[in-house]
């Protein structure tokens, strides 16, 4: 009766192998290539970088690896500035998403069960419409002749239009707006699992609602907070579209910097080095995310 | 030639990492038996059942079904079918399609499938429900469909995983009789896992009591109840009074710890430490000391649990020990007989007690 | 309930925030005037212009093809990954595997775009394939991202599923592949549909990765839209946005009604 076991093993290997190979070729290898190119020197031509190894007569003649690109990153204030600006903007935006998103998620989780699915649907719906076009809509709202200023001027709250578009402020608004669903959904998932009887027990034992929230709800929703924060922070650091459309000349984020270096300067190795620097900065949050997923893994298999 | 046993387990063990779920089990289940694996949760009975079904492989040992060695054989190649605790009816198929599923896998021709499905559904009295979907059925109805789905394949053995646990009391009693009737009618060997000893006692032809991965006793319900092999079995099935002490040799009787006089035990027993076990219903209770009786204890009624048909009296002896005695409420009267703090005498015939070592 | 007022107002603010731009988009699309905040009267002329815009239409067609293809491939691969992660227990390389699956979810798009472009350039250099970048390369890129999302969706449903259904099927004689096709897939079908739609939407919406890996002549709708809005006001884009919102709302509404009828 060996056949069943044998066939099962090979079947399983195939199931794992197909996605594994795909990701290996189209995700892992590309990242490795980025690493390799970041060490190459720039030259004009196609492709615009020197090969890492030069082989002549079957022997390794020269290894042209250089850390020049990384040095560039550290020396040029532009890149260093972009690095810190990205982290700051992404970090504060994540915080804002949390402050807005948490009450929303809580409100949905506490709503009546019949209402919850439609409330969630309403949170997800904007996400399914074009992200690009919605950011464009913000341009119309925030620009000097835009709707917001028209409203505020009309109401007499201000007498000069607020300059929001093409500044950092617009970028914050754009990021918070676009990534809010990514914060609300994991938060909701974690709050929904909360046993309502725990809060009743807290109340029964004498805790006022705010105390119960701090002592029971908040700690138990921690996995949701972390997951949501990761899903907002990490991609936000590398955002390109929002800073490009909504930000100003001095709003330099790493994603935009990478694009500019790549497309305008045609400096692929520098762009690759920038990508490596970004990955290094994000390695910790990404590992945290993976660790969380692995823990959920364990719960699934239990 | 002797027919092979329906199931034979030889030295079957199952280890999960460092813990042993099932430890060295030898068991033979005969054809046509209604066999129960009884024990508390975590005792390994479900693991054992799953090994018979093929969902787990033993770490060591052999499992033979109908005489054929089934070690390593996957569940879809075994002549065994299982009724799951959650019934596991396919939600996207009708009742009839659910029951037909197994036959389709065997390549049975369509007209025969239709005939056998109708037959199986009639057997479980669900003949009119063929087109319904599982979510439209009640718990009891789903269970019957699950049963029909297994029976239609005419397996050598039908395995039942806690079949009655999801049902309420009245339905449970009804279903107990139905299951036994069907089993007798169809003649298939049933192996049932349960933690409910009443269920096991009512339905089974034989019971295996398990604890911590081992079988402590196998026997007919009567044997297991009246002649338990050890303290665990005595305690797990029904209620028991235990009197630890020592068997005195040479007809000296039994010296029970904490009791004044010796107890009389029947049979020729070697001396040494032992425990006398008496079931509460075997105790004769009265306000006066019975004349000419042996094994007399006196005490006061500390608690009475009134169950309607019987009452359980908790009697506290002079030594402080608590003895349980059951008496049927024979008289239809508002006035109770014995009441709290009454002084009572308990006695039993030596043949009604069991000496455990 | 405690503090319903606070939560209610938080929810209202949140939804208002989320939907304000969408509502404005719809309003502007019907505005005769180009200038957004001056109402020039109701008009559908922007819709007309949009439907006559060859560039947009061609790009839209390409985008739909890429989205459909990559969503299907992403679903297939994502279902396999979900199966492996939920049903196979501990297997060799599981840690790496689950890391690879989760990474695209949090990786910034610019890095992904750059990396894939470099791969395609290197591959073309080495083997001659891909011959120029366009439909194929964009589809590959979108499949890779979609795969990660599809896995999350399918995985969660698969984990929730009653395993005894699969065991019962095996017990009744079905081999593992049959069990998967006849029992597992139908039971998780709604999740499969959701995963496909998710991958489809992500593909349709992507501008960064597509910009990196595309080639001359292969312009997707988001790329065209992006180019257009960078230059300033583009009322046709308002019209496009409104059409998308209506289409999505219609699909989600239908899906919700179907799901409601399916439930017991």
Q: What is the pLDDT of residue A63?
A: 57
Q: Residue A65 above 70 pLDDT?
A: no
Question: Which subunits have 3 or more CB–CB pairs within 8 Å of chain B?
Answer: A, C
Is residue A113 domain-resident? Answer: yes
Mean pLDDT of chain B: 90
Q: Is C22 on the interface with A (CB under 8 A)?
A: yes
Name the token pair of B239: 């209620």
Q: What is the CATH number for A176? A: 1.10.3720.10
Nearest by CB: B76 against C174, C183, C264: C174
Burial A186-212 (b: 16+ CB within 10 A, else e): bbbbbbbebeeeebeebeeeebeeeeb
Q: In sequence order, which residues have a C-beta less than 8 Å from that of residue A222 and are 6 or more positions away?
A: A190
Q: In sequence order, which residues have a C-beta less than 8 Å from that of residue C99 and are 6 or more positions away?
A: A290
CB within 8 Å: C7 and A106: yes
Q: How far apart are CA A63 and CA A36, in angstroms?
A: 12
Integer-rounded Cα Rg, in Å, for chain C is 22
Instruction: Find the closest chain A residue to B71 by CA distance.
Output: A1
Total structural domains within chain A? 1
* Strand order from edge to edge, sheet including B343-347: B284-286, B343-347, B296-306, B310-317, B322-328
Rounded mean pLDDT, C230-247: 86
- Mean pLDDT comparison of A81-90, B98-107, C39-48, C242-251, highest-scoring range: B98-107
Q: How far apart are CA A83 and CA A274, in angstroms?
A: 9
Question: Which residues in chain B are closer than 8 Å to C171, comparing Cβ atoms?
Answer: 53-55, 75-76, 80-82
Sign of CA dihedral A90, A94, A95, A99: positive
Q: What is the pTM of this model?
A: 0.84
Is residue A302 domain-resident? Answer: no
Are the CB atoms for A65 and A39 separated by under 8 Å?
Answer: yes
CB within 8 Å: C106 and A230: yes
* DSSP strands (E only) in B172-229: 189-194, 206-211, 214-219
Q: How far apart are CA B70 and CA B78, in angstroms?
A: 8
Report the gap between the CA of C200 and the closest CA in chain B (Å).
Answer: 27
Confidence of residue A1 (pLDDT cuts 50, 70, 90): very low
Q: What is the pLDDT of residue B121?
A: 95
Q: How far apart are CA B327 and CA B325, in angstroms?
A: 7
Among C110, C257, C258, most A C-beta atoms within 10 A, so best to mutate, is C110
Instruction: Find the closest chain A residue to B72 by CA distance.
Output: A1
- Of B282, B295, B291, the C-alpha closest to B328 is B282
Asked if the bond preceding C130 is cis, omega within 30° of 0, the reply is yes
Is residue A148 domain-resident? Answer: yes
Enumerate residues 92 to 121 of chain A having a beta carbon within 8 A of any beta carbon in chain C: 100-101, 103-104, 106-108, 110, 117-119, 121
Query: Residue B349, Cα to own-chain centre: how many angstroms?
Result: 27
- Beta strand B189-194 with B157-161 is parallel
Q: What is the pLDDT of residue B9?
A: 93
Q: Is B249 on the interface with A (CB under 8 A)?
A: no
Q: Is B73 on the interface with A (CB under 8 A)?
A: yes
Higher per-residue confidence, C39 vs B240: B240
Is residue A285 domain-resident? Answer: no
Q: Residue B32 above 70 pLDDT?
A: yes
Report the gap between the CA of B235 and the closest CA in chain C (Å).
Answer: 33
C62-231 CATH choice from 3.50.50.60, 1.10.3720.10, 2.30.30.790, 1.10.260.40: 1.10.3720.10
Is residue A105 domain-resident? Answer: yes
Percent of chain A with pLDDT over 70: 86
Is residue A235 domain-resident? Answer: yes
Q: What is the pLDDT of residue A2?
A: 41
Confidence of residue A59 (pLDDT cuts 50, 70, 90): low
Q: Residue B114 above 70 pLDDT?
A: yes
Q: Residue A45 above 70 pLDDT?
A: no
Q: What is the pLDDT of residues C33-79, one digit of tens each?
A: 777 667 777 888 888 888 888 889 999 999 999 999 999 999 999 99
Q: Residue B335 above 60 pLDDT?
A: no
CB within 8 Å: B105 and C168: no
Q: What is the pLDDT of residue C27?
A: 87
Q: Is A112 on the interface with B (CB under 8 A)?
A: no
Rounded mean pLDDT, C18-33: 87
Q: Residue C264 above 50 pLDDT?
A: no
- Of B125, B335, A141, A16, the C-alpha closest to C88 is A16
Q: What is the pLDDT of residues A235-289, one digit of tens each?
A: 898 889 999 999 887 788 888 888 888 888 888 888 888 898 888 888 887 787 7
Sign of CA dihedral B346, B349, B352, B355: positive
Measured CA to CA in angstroms, residue A1 lies from A162, B333, C88, C222 at distances of 78, 69, 21, 56
Rounded mean pLDDT, B5-9: 90
Q: What is the pLDDT of residue A3?
A: 45
| DSSP, res B356 | E
Q: What is the pLDDT of residue C225?
A: 92
Asked if the bond preceding C35 is cis, omega within 30° of 0, the reply is no
Q: Residue C213 above 70 pLDDT?
A: yes
Q: How far apart are CA C17 and CA A148, in angstroms?
A: 13
Confidence of residue A47 (pLDDT cuts 50, 70, 90): low
Mark residue B54 as left, alpha or beta (left: phi above 0; alpha: psi -120 to 50; beta: remaining): left
Higher per-residue confidence, C151 vs A299: C151
- Of A90, A92, A81, A83, the C-alpha closest to A250 is A81
CB within 8 Å: C24 and A137: yes
Q: What is the pLDDT of residue A281?
A: 81
Question: Which residues in chain A are closer than 8 Å to C6, comparing Cβ atoms?
Answer: 103
- Of B116, A181, B231, the C-alpha closest to C15 is A181
Q: What is the pLDDT of residue A58?
A: 52
Q: How far apart are CA B165 and CA B198, in angstroms?
A: 12
Q: Residue A229 above 50 pLDDT?
A: yes
Q: What range does the domain containing A175 cover?
A: 76-266
Q: What is the pLDDT of residue A43?
A: 63
Q: What is the pLDDT of residues A131-148, one digit of tens each?
A: 898 899 898 888 887 888
Q: What is the pLDDT of residue A301?
A: 47
Phi, psi for residue B55 in degrees, rounded to 5: -85, -20
Is residue A102 domain-resident? Answer: yes
Is residue A150 domain-resident? Answer: yes
Mean pLDDT of chain A: 82
* Strand order from edge to edge, sheet including B157-161: B80-83, B157-161, B189-194, B34-38, B206-211, B214-219
Question: Which residues in chain C are closer than 8 Å to B84, comparing Cβ atoms?
Answer: 164, 167-168
Name the token pair of A292: 């969380």
Q: What is the pLDDT of residue A64?
A: 59
- Mean pLDDT comparison of A47-56, A67-76, A81-90, highest-scoring range: A81-90
Q: Is C27 on the interface with A (CB under 8 A)?
A: no
Rounded mean pLDDT, C116-133: 87
Question: Which residues in chain B are closer than 8 Å to C175, comparing Cβ atoms?
Answer: 76
Q: Please report the domains of chain B, with CATH numbers, ordered by start residue.
A: 7-235 (3.40.50.300), 239-356 (2.40.50.140)
Q: Residue B79 above 90 pLDDT?
A: yes
Q: What is the pLDDT of residue A254?
A: 86
């Amino acid at each position: 009766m060996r056949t069943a076991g044998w066939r099962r093993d090979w079947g399983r290997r195939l199931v794992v192998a197909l996605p594994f190979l795909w990701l290996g070729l189209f995700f892992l290898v590309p990242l490795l290539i980025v690493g390799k190119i970041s060490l190459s020197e720039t030259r004009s031509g196609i492709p615009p970088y020197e090969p890492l190894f030069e082989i002549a007569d079957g022997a390794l003649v020269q290894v042209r690896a250089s850390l020049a690109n990384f040095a560039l990153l550290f020396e040029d204030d532009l890149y260093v500035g972009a690095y810190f600006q990205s982290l700051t903007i992404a970090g504060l935006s994540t915080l804002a998403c949390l402050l807005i998103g948490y009450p929303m998620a809580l409100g949905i989780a506490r709503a009546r069960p019949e209402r919850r699915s439609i409330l969630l649907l309403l949170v997800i719906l904007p996400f399914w419409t074009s992200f690009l076009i919605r950011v464009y809509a913000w341009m119309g709202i925030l620009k000097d002749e835009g709707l917001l200023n028209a409203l505020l001027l009309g109401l007499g709250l201000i007498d000069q239009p607020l300059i929001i578009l093409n500044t950092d402020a617009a970028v914050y608004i754009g990021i918070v707006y676009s990534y809010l669903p990514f914060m609300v959904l994991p938060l909701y998932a974690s709050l929904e699992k909360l046993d309502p009887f725990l809060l009743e027990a807290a109340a029964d034992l004498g805790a006022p609602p705010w105390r119960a929230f701090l002592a029971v709800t908040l700690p138990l929703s921690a996995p949701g907070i972390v997951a949501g924060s990761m899903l907002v922070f990490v991609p936000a650091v590398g955002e390109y579209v929002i800073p490009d459309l909504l930000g100003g000349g001095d709003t330099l984020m790493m994603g935009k910097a990478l694009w500019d270096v790549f497309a305008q300067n045609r400096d692929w190795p520098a762009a690759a080095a920038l990508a490596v620097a970004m990955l290094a900065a994000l390695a910790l949050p990404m590992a945290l995310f993976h660790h969380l997923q692995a823990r959920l893994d364990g719960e699934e298999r239990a | 030639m002797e027919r092979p046993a329906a199931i034979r387990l030889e030295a079957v063990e199952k280890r999960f990492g460092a813990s042993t779920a099932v430890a060295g089990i030898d068991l033979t289940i005969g054809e046509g038996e209604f066999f129960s694996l009884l024990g508390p949760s975590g005792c390994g009975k479900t693991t054992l059942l799953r090994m018979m079904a093929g969902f787990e492989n033993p770490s060591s040992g052999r499992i033979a079904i109908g005489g054929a060695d089934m070690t390593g054989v996957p569940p879809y190649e075994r002549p065994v079918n299982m009724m799951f605790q959650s019934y596991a009816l396919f939600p996207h198929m009708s009742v009839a399609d659910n029951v037909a599923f197994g036959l389709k896998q065997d390549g049975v021709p369509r007209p025969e499938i239709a005939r056998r499905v109708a037959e199986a559904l009639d057997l479980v009295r669900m003949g009119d429900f063929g087109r319904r979907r599982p979510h439209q059925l009640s718990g009891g109805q789903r269970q019957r469909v699950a049963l029909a789905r297994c029976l239609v394949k005419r397996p050598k053995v039908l395995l039942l995983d806690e079949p009655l646990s999801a049902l309420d009391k009245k339905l449970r009693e009804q279903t107990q009789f139905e299951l036994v009737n069907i089993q007798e009618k169809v003649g298939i060997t049933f192996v049932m896992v349960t933690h409910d000893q009443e269920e096991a006692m009512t339905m089974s032809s034989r019971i295996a009591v398990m604890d911590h991965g081992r079988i402590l006793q196998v026997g007919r319900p009567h044997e297991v109840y009246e002649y338990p092999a050890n303290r665990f079995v005595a305690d797990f099935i029904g209620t028991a009074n235990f009197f630890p002490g020592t068997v005195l040799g040479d007809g000296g009787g039994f010296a029970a710890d904490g009791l004044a006089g010796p107890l009389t035990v029947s049979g020729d027993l070697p001396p040494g430490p032992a425990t006398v076990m008496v079931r509460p219903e075997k105790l004769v209770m009265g306000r006066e000391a019975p004349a000419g009786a042996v094994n007399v204890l006196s005490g006061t009624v500390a608690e009475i649990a009134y169950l309607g048909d019987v009452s359980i009296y908790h009697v506290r002896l002079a030594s402080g020990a608590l003895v349980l005695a059951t008496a049927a409420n024979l008289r239809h009267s508002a006035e109770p007989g014995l009441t709290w703090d009454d002084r009572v005498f308990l006695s039993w015939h030596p043949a009604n007690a069991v000496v455990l070592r | 309930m405690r503090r319903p007022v606070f939560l209610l107002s938080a929810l209202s603010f949140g939804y208002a925030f989320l939907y304000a731009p969408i509502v404005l988009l719809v309003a502007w699309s019907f505005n005769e005037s180009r200038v957004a905040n001056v109402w020039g009267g109701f008009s559908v002329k922007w819709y007309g212009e949009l439907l006559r815009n060859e560039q947009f239409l061609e790009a839209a067609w390409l985008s739909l093809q890429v989205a459909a293809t990559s969503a299907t491939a992403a679903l297939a691969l994502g279902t396999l990954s979900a199966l492996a992660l939920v049903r196979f227990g501990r297997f060799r390389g599981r840690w790496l595997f689950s890391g690879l699956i989760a990474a695209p979810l949090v990786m910034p798009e610019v890095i992904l775009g750059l990396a894939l472009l470099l791969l395609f350039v290197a591959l073309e250099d080495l083997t001659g394939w891909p011959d120029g970048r366009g439909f194929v390369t964009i589809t590959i890129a979108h499949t890779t991202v979609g795969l990660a999302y599809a896995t999350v969706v399918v995985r969660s449903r698969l984990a929730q599923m009653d395993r005894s259904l699969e065991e019962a099927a095996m017990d009744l004689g079905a081999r593992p592949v049959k069990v998967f096709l006849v029992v597992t897939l139908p039971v998780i079908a709604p999740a499969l549909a959701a995963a496909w739609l998710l991958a489809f939407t992500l593909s349709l919406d992507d501008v960064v990765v597509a910009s990196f890996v595309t080639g001359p002549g292969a312009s997707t709708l988001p790329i065209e839209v992006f180019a257009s809005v960078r230059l300033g006001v583009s009322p046709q884009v308002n019209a496009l946005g409104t059409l998308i919102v209506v289409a999505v709302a219609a699909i989600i509404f239908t899906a919700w009604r179907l799901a409601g009828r399916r439930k017991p």
